[in-house]
Structure formats: structure tokens, C-alpha cells
Structure 1
Amino acid sequence: MESFSDFISQSHSVTLAVLALLSLYFILINWVFFYRLFTINSWIERETLSLEQLLMGAENVTTNAYLYKFISSSSKISREIFDLGMFSATKESTKGLSYLSVVASTSPFIGLFGTVVSILDTFDDIGGAGGMNMIAAGVSDALIATAGGIFVAIFAYTFHQVLKRRAYELNGLIRMQRDAVLARKAEEA
């Protein structure tokens, strides 16, 4: 088994650049995921509390609720104001999802590119020395880039799905608040 320093010294520079890029991708998707997850989870807690208050008989959403700033900025509560709030909440809650989607779809191809370049380099080296051991070692090292790309893609896709589901739950809570307030206003009229 070769050491990490042997792998670095024997690998093609493109393969190393691909692995560095995939490492950066991995760090960034983790940062995006955990930052957005904590943000959305705290937001869900606030919206759940506001919905509970509405269900207990409150006239309006709480001051911590996302829809409050839209209601307070208008002299008349209307469906259009709430729709504006819903669109804004959807936009805010899905930030970062497109980045995770792009990483999930491109990282396997980036890894494959590194593998192909490394295999080409291995075949180029075979012309001089030759032998099956050299081919096996070269292909084995080359496949690390593909494995890295798939590894990053799995996490990016999983993180995307988790955040998408949490954003859906959040928007559902906001929609329920909107419906509760509009139903109260309709009863009063």
C-alpha cells in the first residue's frame, strides 16, 4: 500500500487539481447545508409558534413571524400581500439549493475528467516501461478521482433533498398562517 505522499508524487497534476476542486466543493456544500439547516430550523420554530398562537385564537401572526413585516407594511390585509410574503419566503427558504444541485450534478463528471486524464497519462507512460502492474497501478490511482466525484455528489444530493423538504415544511407553516388570518378576516366582514 502506497503512502499519501507517494500518491501525490505519482498522480497527474490534473487529477490533483480535480481532487482539490472536489475537496473545496465538499467543504462548501457542508457549510451551505449546516448554515441553511440551522437557519431554516430556527425559522420553522418561530413559524410554528406563530401558527399555534393563531390556532389558540390570536387575531394576527406574532411579531416574529415572517408574514408580520408584510402585514404591518400595508394598511389593508389582502391575499395579494400574503402572496407577496409567500413568494418572498419561498425565495428566502430555498437559498443555496441551486448550488447544491449544481454540485450534485457536476462533481461526478469532474471526477471522471480527472480519471480520464490520469488513465491517458498511464497509457502514455506504458509506452516506455510497460507491464500489467503499471497499468493496474495507474488505473487504480486514476479511479480515485471518480470515487471522489461520486462521494461529493452523494452528499450534495442528500443535503439538497433535506433542505428542500425543510423549505417545503416551512412554506406550509407560512401558508397555514396566511389561511388562518384570511379566514378570521372573512369572518369579521
Structure 2
Amino acid sequence: MIDTVLNYLNNGSAITLLVLLTLSGYFILCFWLFIYRFMSLNSLIFNEKKSLEALTSRNASISPLSSLNKCSSSVHTKEILHACEINIIKDASSGITWLSIIASTSPFVGLFGTVVGILESFAKFSDQTKVGFSIIAPAISEALVATAAGIFVAIFAYTFHQILVRKVYELNTYLKAQSEILIAKG
């Protein structure tokens, strides 16, 4: 298996290697963004959940753990709380757009590598008078590796994007609930 990969990398063109390097960078960025944002969103959600529980059960004031506590004043107006919610959600969702960009562009990057690989394969065969399927098939299958790599990266990026969007929605729900309670209590 390792010999096959090394042979592929040794025989690949500069464009193919650049495509695989780009997709590798996408893959690493995708996982880094997901892990970082997932951990920070879970922390925010935990704090907001505890704050909402405290606000609905025993305390008439917002918990110091809540993100809303940072921007709320003694007077809880609807406009101030709404602006605060928007700011918190904006900060919480930063970086998630990159997962969407990776999910949508990585298949095209892989397809570009495949097209270049197929063109190079046909260029190699142009000086031969008789070329059979047994010669063309390995060259084309090597070129298709780039498309497979692009789709592989896109699957993870899209899945991670959807998970994080759901986490942001959950955070937004807790923030809105707290805001409504604070407005109702005056």
C-alpha cells in the first residue's frame, strides 16, 4: 500500500501534487476548525444552559457565566439584548464559513487534478500508434485519485459545517430564551 502511494507521488505531475497538497491543507484546516469551534461552542452552550436554568429557577438576574451578562445593563431593553445576541452569535459562528467554502470547492480542486492527469496521460500516449485499454486504464485511474480526494475532503467539511451550524442554532435558542425572560421580568 505504501509502495503504491509512493509510486503515485513519484510519477505524478507537479499539478497533481499541488492539487493533493491543497486538498491535504483543506483537510487539516477542516479538522482544526471543527475541533476548535466545536469545543468553544460546547463551552458556550453549557454556560448558557446553566444560566437559563438559574434564571428560570431561583435567580431573578442573569448568571455571570452567561455571554449576555457582558453586554446587558441594569435595564434590559429588547433592542439591547437583541443586539447582544447578534454579536454573540456572530462571534460564535466565526470560521464556520470556511467549512462551507472547503466543502464546495474541494471537489472542484480534485476534478481539476483529474482533468490535468487525464490530459497528461493522453499526451503520453499521443506518440504511440496502438494503445490498448490495459495501458489507458491505469493512467486514468491514477488521475481519478484527485477527484476521490476532493470528494473525501468535502464529505468531512460539509458534515462538520452542519454539526457546527446546529450548535450555533442551539446557542441562539438559549440566548433568545434568556432575553425573553429578562424582558418579561423587566
Normalised by the size of structure 1, how large is the TM-score?
Answer: 0.93
Letter aligned with residue 12 of structure 1: S
Distance 1:22 1:145 in 2: 9
Query: What residue in structure 2 maps to residue 119 of structure 1?
Result: 118
Q: For structure 1, which segment, 95-104 or 156-165, has the greater mean C-alpha deviation from structure 2 after superposition?
A: 95-104
Alpha-carbon offset, residue 75 of structure 1? 4.9
In the alignment, the residues of structure 2 paired with residue 79 and residue 125 of structure 1 have an alpha-carbon distance, to the nearest angstrom, of 69
Counterpart check, 1:81 vs 2:80: yes
| Aligned counterpart, 2:136 | 135
Q: Which amino acid aligns with 1:163?
A: L
The root-mean-square deviation of aligned C-alpha atoms, in Å, is 1.3
Offset from partner CA, 1:3-34 (integer Å, 9 cap, x none): 22211121121111101100010000000001
Where does the alignment leave 5 or more consecutive residues of structure 1 unmatched? none
Q: TM-score scaled by structure 2?
A: 0.94
Task: Give the distance between the partners of 2:76 and 2:138, measured in 1 at CA.
Answer: 70
The corresponding residue for 1:163 is 164
Alpha-carbon separation, structure 2, partners of 1:163 and 1:94: 8
* Distance (whole Å) between structure 2 residues aligned to residue 128 and residue 7 of structure 1: 23
The Cα of 1:97 is off from its aligned counterpart by 1.4
Task: Please state how far the C-alpha of 1:153 moved relative to its aligned partner.
Answer: 0.4
Shift of 1:106: 0.4
Is the counterpart of residue 6 in structure 1 residue 7 in structure 2?
A: yes
Number of residue pairs the alignment of both structures matches: 183
Name the counterpart of 2:182: 181
Q: Identity, % of aligned pairs?
A: 43
Moved over 6 A (4+): none
Give the Å deviation of 1:57. 3.0
